[in-house]
Amino acid sequence: MDNSCRRQFLKKSAVLAAGAATLAWKGNLWSATEPHLTFPTEPRDRIAVASWPFRMFIEAPTNKWARDPKLPGMDLTEFPANVVKRFGIHNIEPLDQHFRSTDAAYMKQFRAAVDKAGCHVVDVPCDVHDSFYDTDPAKRKTAVENGKKWVNVALELGSPSIRAHIGGSSKLKPDVARTAESLTQLAEYGALKNIVVALENDDNFTEDPFFIVEVLDKVNNPYLHALPDFCNSMMTHDQEFNNRAMEAMFKHAYSIAHMKDEEGDEKGKFHTVDVAKCFEIAKAQGYRGYFSMEWEGNGEPYAGTQRLIDETLKYIR
User: Which residue, 59, 57, 82, 61, is CA-closest to 72?
Assistant: 57
More confident residue, 299 or 153: 153
Report DSSP state, residue 202. Answer: -
- Determine the average pLDDT of the residues in 100-110: 97
Q: Is 256 exposed, middle or buried (0-12, 13-18, 19+ CB in 10 A)?
A: buried
Question: Do residues 272 and 307 make contact, with C-beta atoms less than 8 angstroms apart?
Answer: no
pLDDT digits (tens, 9 = 90+) for 164-209: 999 988 789 999 999 999 999 999 999 999 999 999 999 889 999 9
Q: What is the second-level CATH architecture of the domain 3-315?
A: Alpha-Beta Barrel (3.20)
First vs last Cα of the chain: how many Å apart? 30
Cα–Cα distance, 180 to 198 (Å, whole number): 13
- Predicted local confidence at residue 267, as pLDDT: 82
* pLDDT at residue 18 tops 60: no
pLDDT digits (tens, 9 = 90+) for 217-271: 999 999 999 999 999 999 999 999 999 999 999 999 999 999 999 998 888 889 9
